[in-house]
Structure 1
Amino acid sequence: MQTYDFIIVGAGSAGCVVAERLSRSGRFSVLVLEAGGTDRRFFVQMPLGYGKTFYDPAVNWNYRTEPDPGLAGNADHWPRGKLLGGSSSINAMVWIRGHRADYDGWRDLGNPGWSYDDVLPAFKAIEDNEAGANQWRGTSGPVHVSDCTSAVHPLTKRYIHAAEQAGLPFNSDFNGASQEGVGIYQISTRDGRRMSAARAFLRPAMKRANVRVETNALATKILFEGRRATGIEYEQRGRTFRVKAGREVILSAGSINSPQLLQLSGVGPAEHLRSLGIEVVHASENVGRNLEDHVGINYTFKGREATLNQLLRPWWGKMLVGMQYVLMRSGPLSMSMNAGGGFFRTDPALPRPNMQLYFQAFSTIIPRTGERPILTPDPWPGFSIGLSNCRPSSRGEIMIRSSDPRQHPRIMPNALSTEADVAEMLAAVKFVRRIAARPALKEFIVEEIVPGPSVTSDEALIDDFRRRSGTVYHPVATCRMGPDQQKAVVDPRLKVHGLEGLRVIDASIFPTNIAGNTNAPSIMTGWKGAEMVLEDAG
């Protein structure tokens, strides 16, 4: 059995960072096991190409939740990256760190080293921010963060003006002094290409002699000797292999696959594991539980003038933007669909924003089989204002269905299952209409297409957002961090409670969700987690 100092399961947003940092000194040997394949695909590297990867089984786990009562019984589609870079290779690239109070809240839950002041140096070290360095931003890190101010569609400026007319302040940097307000999103791209964790961290690490990356390698079981994790069993091209970790096994498989692998290996809710014939190595009732996710919805409008729909839909428009991208790495294909956005409070009495906004200068309400129709939008001039909740109180769970590692786990989000979540979503969709009714946008709008002007009562609005809402792809907390093993899975050093030689380093350890997109915090978690591993390794 071959031995490495560290075995990392998952080459996603956090795992790529961990691999790069642990291998940098040359002292340690590192094996990375990735269930998916290469990220060197055109539609992965082209930023707006993620519409093509949204359902593609070659790069996407394509999870489906259980029918969710809070979403009118819908079974939601949960895309997760199954390739080098993980979900950072198929996401919308919006670069948001979260609110200062999010991380101070982590610290206050008993997690020293995770306050905002503790994580800010990591965020700055990660970034190469095009907007320049200051007390919040860095400019020498591996992740290039693009300033899209000069490249967004002109309609985005109308949206910003309308949101200001609705009472939101303009905010030039949601990762700066304050998060609240409206503005243009920074995105993780460089020179018109996606800046995934694989591109920023793993590709440089793969050039080192002490790093081995195995793709199409599905981890099936953590190997234990007593209560110490000693290695990983994995399947690759029809064969089963076992590898040994001389120092630590590190799970960076994400909020779905990390709890899944723990449960498959006998670490999790004891009664559930025994019911599936799995021998319990360590009873940990919180593995897979405490699932949090952001839930979102779009309101879509028809405009009086051309939007990106009229450029991206016709053949000549596709040819034009395609040539612009291939020749100059610029234009709509080099951007995210979410150009503008913001954060607001549904109640002025709240201490911080509880809702996030997204603006898209095109619309995609006409479905297409097998893909998200970003590159083939609606035939009329359309645009959308979307929103998602930042701190939902609803909690779900992820549990394996059987001892078969190839079977997708049971995902039950329990979205919008609390009165508080429903009430704030109701207030939020009303605010979206307030923005659309401000003069800067009102003069541009012909009509509201979805949900439409007939949906006005509270009951009708609630029914609509239950039927049309869905994940915005930010699941966390299924292996959450905390000092008490009765309430958490890992300790503040990210070591699994009750076991040795085993850590979890990915978004599943978040004690609570952050306000905003979770890719940047996941990368930060990889950075901080690797730092802890190196400290403990001497």
Structure 2
Amino acid sequence: MTEADYIIIGGGSAGCVLAARLSEDPSIRVLLIEAGPRDTNPWIHVPLGYGKLFNHERLNWRFQSEPEPGMNGRRVNQPRGRVLGGSSSINGLLYVRGQREDFDAWSRLGNRGWGYEDLLPYFRRAEGQQRGADPWHGADGPLAVSDPSEPHTLCDAFIEAGVEAGYARNDDFNGETQEGVGYYQSTMKRGRRCSAAVAYLKPARNRRNLQVTTGAMVRRILLEGKRATGVEWTDESGTSQRATAWREVILSAGAIGSPQILELSGIGDGERLRGLGIETIHHNPEVGENFQDHLQVRTVYKATRPITFNDDMLSPFRTMGVGLRYALSRKGPLTVSAGYAGGFLRSDIARDERPDIQCLFITFSTTKMGDKLHAFSGFTVSACPLRPESRGHVHAVSPDATVSPAILANFLTTERDEAEVVAGMRIVRKIMAQSAIAPFVKEEHIPGSDMASDEQLLAYARETGGSIYHASCSAAMGKVVDASLRVMGIEGLRVADASIMPAVPSGNTNAAVIAIGEKAADMIREDNR
């Protein structure tokens, strides 16, 4: 297509939803533009394959932050999916929506229609819940949500230890309450990843009114005055291409890509744009500001028994067995998400009566994400403060779209964030000190029991902590877009992805991004009916 009713920039989580939903009307022509390739790599579809994709040259943007002042000046990895499905094709698969209060807070900021009760129908419409439908879940949606393929002895012990430590058992973190310990559900079906591309785009791909263009590096949104009229990109051969949007351009390039494209198109802080040699079409200094992300800090334990995934990979025979089991039954370690078990818990310094810490338990260990497994029986428990105060930015540093933007999360730059990360690590130790898990723990490998004071734990967090990959808020509602997701000051242009969040939800972000795509599709259809 060289023209379409709607042009969607970005074939990630929200982009796939929008392409599928808008093209349901056969009279509407939709063009979806994605910088990466199709999702044909086999590791995309094996759940534990995310470890193979963490630093993949072709399927991952492999962004890094600027030196983080609160992290001893370290650059922190910010992996993002560069493939159909976006980050839903390379993420850890966890299905977590967040807390009711998160979305009600969005609404109280003036974003009418974005409270929990407003979004719940979209969560339910998207969801194909393995357990069936109930007031909180849908069973007929395209996005498969499943329990783990099987329990694990270590996970059972961790959950029992959490109960011993005083936390409630919770078998549904997306139900009536998020609080408690239990197994995570994930976006998986019969042992295969259910990305947004699989869930939404694959069933729609044969529609004659939908074109999906891959290998297309968007250079800018075309504007006539203050109206978006199309998109310019470079194809895989390096040739410049253009397409006209008769109704709207929808920007769904993610919390890192969307603000960069806005700035390259002349929408942002005028002084910043002039410094890059970009003509200012609409001055808005909020573009790229307010960026948020979650920080996680990992505690690694040596196990007393050879029952971890480390052990499976240390033995050639066990490794072959893992692969054979997956091939024959779609069960076993290869079906494990980035959080096998865990919980949402209130720390001793919680500001209100809801969880402020997320814990994630996995049955393997590495020094940091993307590294090789340790050569010993090991497992990992991570702590993640849920509502950070820190805000950063994402900004273009060159008029060349292929140059990565400057990213800064400003992790651990407020006293509150410092206190919460320490409180989260102490919750991990509290659970791991219980009798239910004790028989499985040989020792705390890192940071080690000698790191005992708050000052030592905070220093460890600064030295080893990293993103849990929940980039958000860089084109926030009320600052860059309105409650209908229209870019303020520009006609015919919307943003629909994690960048529009006013604040990061209390948990993993992909489920919320899918719901944003569903709601955006309804608003667009209603506005243009």
- Pairwise TM-score range, normalised by the shorter structure: over 0.9
Structure 2 distance, partners of 1:123, 1:74, is 37
Structure 2 distance, partners of 1:337, 1:383, is 12
Q: Which residue of 1 aligns with 2:359?
A: 357
Q: How do 1:155-304 and structure 2 match up within 5 A?
A: 155-236=154-235, 237-304=237-304
3-state SS in 1 of match to 2:74: coil
Q: Which residue of 2 aligns with 1:447?
A: 443
Letter paired with 1:372: G
5+ long unaligned stretches in structure 1? 483-487
Q: Is the 1:169–1:181 contact (alpha carbons within 8 Å) kept by the matching residues of 2?
A: yes
| CA positional deviation for 1:168 | 0.8
- For normalisation by structure 2, the TM-score amounts to 0.98
Q: Which residue of 2 aligns with 1:12?
A: 12
Instruction: Give the 3 Å change call, closer, same or farther, for CA 498–189 of structure 1 in structure 2.
Output: same
Letter paired with 1:494: L
- Pick from 463, 475, 478 the counterpart of residue 479 of structure 1: 475
Q: Is the 2:350–2:356 contact (alpha carbons within 8 Å) kept by the matching residues of 1?
A: no
Letter paired with 1:512: A
Structure 1 distance, partners of 2:314, 2:228, is 53
Q: Which residue of 2 aligns with 1:141?
A: 141
Letter paired with 2:179: E
| CA positional deviation for 1:349 | 5.3
3-state SS in 2 of match to 1:158: helix
Residue 416 (structure 1) aligned with residue 412 (structure 2):
yes
| CA positional deviation for 1:312 | 2.8
Q: How do 1:340-351 and structure 2 match up within 5 A?
A: 340-346=341-347, 347=349, 350-351=352-353
Q: Which residue of 2 aligns with 1:392?
A: 388
Q: Is the 1:65–1:77 contact (alpha carbons within 8 Å) kept by the matching residues of 2?
A: yes
| CA positional deviation for 1:153 | 1.7
Instruction: Give the 3 Å change call, closer, same or farther, for CA 55–349 of structure 1 in structure 2.
Output: closer
Q: Is the 1:506–1:522 contact (alpha carbons within 8 Å) kept by the matching residues of 2?
A: yes
Q: Which stretches of structure 1, 4 residues or more, deviate above 3 A after TM superposition?
A: none
Letter paired with 1:172: D
| CA positional deviation for 1:364 | 1.5
| CA positional deviation for 1:317 | 1.7
Q: Which residue of 2 aligns with 1:330?
A: 331
Structure 2 distance, partners of 1:133, 1:404, is 48
- Pick from 353, 357, 370 the counterpart of residue 372 of structure 1: 370
Letter paired with 2:352: L
Provide Cα deviations, 1:104-156, integer angstroms capped at 9, x if missing partner: 111101011111001001101111101221100110000110112x6132110
| CA positional deviation for 1:402 | 1.0
| CA positional deviation for 1:348 | 5.4
3-state SS in 2 of match to 1:388: strand
Residue 527 (structure 1) aligned with residue 518 (structure 2):
yes
Over aligned residues, Cα RMSD in angstroms?
A: 1.2
| CA positional deviation for 1:203 | 1.2
Structure 1 distance, partners of 2:356, 2:90, is 26
Q: Is the 1:313–1:378 contact (alpha carbons within 8 Å) kept by the matching residues of 2?
A: no
Q: Which residue of 2 aligns with 1:107?
A: 107
Q: How do 1:491-502 and structure 2 match up within 5 A?
A: 491-502=482-493
The alignment-based identity, stated in percent, is 45
Higher deviation after alignment, 66-75 or 258-267? 66-75
Q: Which residue of 2 aligns with 1:485?
A: none
Structure 1 distance, partners of 2:218, 2:509, is 24
5+ long unaligned stretches in structure 2? none
3-state SS in 2 of match to 1:277: coil
Q: Which residue of 2 aligns with 1:94?
A: 94
Q: Is the 1:34–1:215 contact (alpha carbons within 8 Å) kept by the matching residues of 2?
A: yes
Structure 1 distance, partners of 2:314, 2:507, is 30
Q: Which residue of 2 aligns with 1:64?
A: 64
Structure 2 distance, partners of 1:443, 1:204, is 48
Structure 1 distance, partners of 2:395, 2:207, is 37
Structure 2 distance, partners of 1:53, 1:361, is 19
| CA positional deviation for 1:243 | 0.5
Provide Cα deviations, 1:356-401, integer angstroms capped at 9, x if missing partner: 1100111112x7xxx824xx52221111111111110000001111
Q: Which residue of 2 aligns with 1:117?
A: 117
Structure 1 distance, partners of 2:413, 2:128, is 40
Q: How do 1:297-312 and structure 2 match up within 5 A?
A: 297-306=297-306, 307-312=308-313
Q: Is the 2:33–2:212 contact (alpha carbons within 8 Å) kept by the matching residues of 1?
A: yes
Structure 2 distance, partners of 1:505, 1:428, is 32
Instruction: Give the 3 Å change call, closer, same or farther, for CA 348–254 of structure 1 in structure 2.
Output: closer
- Pick from 500, 505, 528 the counterpart of residue 509 of structure 1: 500
- For normalisation by structure 1, the TM-score amounts to 0.96
| CA positional deviation for 1:325 | 1.3
Structure 1 distance, partners of 2:513, 2:14, is 6
Structure 1 distance, partners of 2:197, 2:350, is 41
Letter paired with 1:357: C
Structure 1 distance, partners of 2:351, 2:198, is 43
Letter paired with 2:361: F
Instruction: Give the 3 Å change call, closer, same or farther, for CA 441–130 of structure 1 in structure 2.
Output: same
Q: Is the 1:184–1:339 contact (alpha carbons within 8 Å) kept by the matching residues of 2?
A: yes
Q: Which residue of 1 aligns with 2:76?
A: 76
Q: What is the count of residue pairs matched by the alignment?
A: 526
Structure 2 distance, partners of 1:360, 1:403, is 42
3-state SS in 1 of match to 2:289: coil
Q: Which residue of 2 aligns with 1:462?
A: 458
3-state SS in 2 of match to 1:440: coil
Letter paired with 1:356: Q
3-state SS in 2 of match to 1:448: strand
Letter paired with 2:387: R
Q: Which residue of 2 aligns with 1:316?
A: 317
Q: Is the 2:161–2:431 contact (alpha carbons within 8 Å) kept by the matching residues of 1?
A: yes
Provide Cα deviations, 1:80-123, integer angstroms capped at 9, x if missing partner: 00000000000000000110001111110101111100100110
Q: Is the 1:339–1:360 contact (alpha carbons within 8 Å) kept by the matching residues of 2?
A: yes
| CA positional deviation for 1:354 | 1.1
3-state SS in 1 of match to 2:61: coil
Structure 1 distance, partners of 2:476, 2:26, is 31
Structure 1 distance, partners of 2:390, 2:290, is 9
3-state SS in 2 of match to 1:439: coil
Structure 2 distance, partners of 1:397, 1:6, is 29
